[in-house]
């Protein structure tokens, strides 16, 4: 329970101040009114922020938190509970502090007369345009519980896809970090030992070129590491600032789709997200034009979003969905044909869901195969680099041995 500090007047007009424990703002307000107090000031007492809370704030509200919230919300709405009562219960039992605070603010807005979708729209960092528009459609159609279930399923599938990609890439990333650590250790610790030994043998000018290069790199890292760090951080900052510009974002998204190995994977991820988001919106009763507008913002790729905007323009002029999708050149023929069949049979959301499921499976298989290819490549690459460094260090010794003979 939270601690609230208050200032109030009693029935005689006397000013009182104190603290009281309560589960929520509404509960403490009710308690003080029952005590005959007229509240002049009320706020929740701030508590010291611990390490776990700092981590939670850095992590933010995750897909898992939203999926659980949506499923529980749907269950209580379906049971006939009012929105205020439902949100009060969710606020009390939610363990994620940021989400709990957001739920409390949403409940306050609804008590003030706002609709659920408008209250959610005030928190874009927690609830996306997709979430808000689906809730708005559920409110208009009287099927809020069904929409919330669809949102929960959508979020769970998105989370599952991210976890599969993350788990498949964990080992290659760890292997790459181990390789870089080994190279750094050799550069900073091993090479200086050889450099001292070579100085005792004679001038560095007599050393082979590979040895001089290895020793030069070692000296650069040991003596000017701060310059390298500042340079790398500065370059990353400039690139990040450029990517945040419209032209930079478009160029970055275009490169992601055209990369030799990762490009096809990125394109499948975008198409899967497009299909699932579009299908979920259509199934929830969101109009096609509004659904495509939301999809363009949800897929987080300027190139595909531009193609989706072209589709919206063509549909506004009276064309079907499949024709502009095909004309954009960004969607595979299978996607176009599935959408066409869905339009003709009146089962567009079903076809889009099947496309999304197919590409989810394709992504999983592609990432697994890429992982199996990357592992030996990383191992061989690490062996080649470390071997080259070792050879460059032992070349002067070999030369010395040959000269003695």
User: Counting Cβ atoms within 10 Å, is residue 176 exposed (0-12), middle (13-18) or buried (19+)?
Assistant: middle
Most confident stretch, 3-12, 73-82, 310-319: 73-82
Question: 13 vs 16, 18, 39, 267, 365, CA distance in Å?
Answer: 9, 16, 11, 68, 72
> What gap in Å lies between CA 124 and CA 118, rounded to an integer?
11
* Strand-pair category, 15-22 with 38-44: unpaired
Q: At 16, list the tokens.
A: 């009182």
> What gap in Å lies between CA 225 and CA 219, rounded to an integer?
9
Residue written as tokens 């659920």? 116
Confidence of residue 56 (pLDDT cuts 50, 70, 90): very low
% of the chain with per-residue pLDDT over 70: 91
User: Given CA atoms 216, 221, 224, 227 in this order, what sign does their dihedral have?
Assistant: positive
- Per-residue pLDDT at 404: 57
- In angstroms and rounded to an integer, the radius of gyration of the C-alpha atoms of the chain is 30
Could you say which DSSP state residue 321 is in?
A: S
> What gap in Å lies between CA 108 and CA 118, rounded to an integer?
12
User: Given CA atoms 94, 99, 101, 103 in this order, what sign does their dihedral have?
Assistant: negative
Of 211 and 14, which is predicted with more confidence?
211
pLDDT digits (tens, 9 = 90+) for 113-163: 888 888 888 888 888 877 887 788 788 777 788 888 888 888 888 888 788
- Per-residue pLDDT at 302: 83
pLDDT at 35 over 80: no
pLDDT at 192 over 90: no
- Cα angle 345, 351, 354 (rounded to 5 degrees) comes to 155
> What gap in Å lies between CA 321 and CA 339, rounded to an integer?
7
Residue 264 — left, alpha, or beta (φ > 0 → left; ψ -120 to 50 → alpha)? alpha
% of the chain with per-residue pLDDT over 90: 2
Mean predicted lDDT score pLDDT of the chain: 80
pLDDT at 403 over 80: no
Of 242 and 167, which is predicted with more confidence?
242
* Strand-pair category, 38-44 with 2-9: antiparallel
> What gap in Å lies between CA 262 and CA 212, rounded to an integer?
36
> What gap in Å lies between CA 273 and CA 154, rounded to an integer?
10
Q: Is 4 helix (H, G, I), strand (E, B) or coil?
A: strand
pLDDT at 184 over 90: no
pLDDT at 237 over 90: yes
- Per-residue pLDDT at 234: 92
Confidence of residue 49 (pLDDT cuts 50, 70, 90): very low
- Per-residue pLDDT at 53: 47
């Amino acid at each position: 329970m939270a601690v609230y500090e208050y200032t109030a007047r009693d029935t005689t007009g006397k000013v009182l101040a104190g603290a009281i424990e309560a589960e929520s703002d509404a509960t403490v307000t009710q308690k003080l009114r029952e005590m005959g107090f007229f509240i002049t000031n009320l706020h929740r007492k701030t508590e010291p922020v611990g390490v776990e809370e700092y981590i939670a704030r850095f992590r933010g509200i995750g897909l898992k938190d939203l999926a659980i919230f949506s499923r529980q919300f749907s269950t209580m709405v379906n049971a006939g509970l009012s929105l205020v009562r439902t949100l009060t219960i969710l606020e009390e039992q939610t363990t994620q502090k940021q989400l709990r605070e957001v739920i409390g603010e949403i409940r306050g807005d609804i008590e003030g007369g706002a609709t659920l979708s408008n209250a959610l729209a005030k928190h874009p960092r927690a609830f996306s345009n997709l979430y808000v528009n689906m809730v708005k459609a559920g409110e208009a159609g009287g099927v809020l519980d069904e929409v919330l279930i669809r949102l929960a399923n959508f979020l769970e599938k998105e989370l599952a896809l991210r976890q599969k990609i993350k788990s498949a890439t964990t080992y290659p990333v760890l292997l790459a970090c181990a390789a870089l650590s080994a190279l750094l250790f050799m550069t900073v610790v091993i090479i200086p030992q050889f450099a001292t030994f070579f100085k005792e043998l004679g001038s560095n000018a007599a050393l082979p070129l590979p040895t001089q290069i290895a020793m030069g790199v070692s000296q650069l890292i040991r003596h000017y590491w701060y310059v390298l760090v500042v340079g790398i951080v500065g370059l990353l900052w400039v690139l990040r600032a450029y990517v945040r510009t419209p032209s930079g974002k478009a160029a970055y998204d275009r490169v992601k789709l055209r990369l030799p190995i990762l490009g096809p994977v990125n394109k499948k991820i975008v198409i899967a997200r497009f299909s699932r988001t579009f299908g979920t919106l259509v199934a929830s009763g969101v109009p096609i034009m509004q659904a495509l507008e939301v999809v363009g913002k949800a897929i987080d790729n300027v190139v595909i979003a531009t193609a989706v905007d072209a589709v919206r323009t063509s549909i506004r002029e009276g064309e079907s969905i499949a024709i502009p999708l095909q004309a954009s050149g960004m969607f595979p023929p299978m996607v176009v044909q599935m959408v066409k069949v869905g339009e003709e049979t009146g089962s567009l959301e079903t076809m889009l869901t099947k496309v999304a499921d197919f590409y989810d499976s394709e992504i999983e298989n592609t990432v697994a195969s890429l992982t199996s290819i990357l592992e030996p490549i990383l191992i061989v690459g690490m062996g080649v680099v470390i071997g080259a460094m070792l050879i460059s260090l032992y070349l002067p010794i070999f030369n010395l041995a040959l000269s003695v003979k």
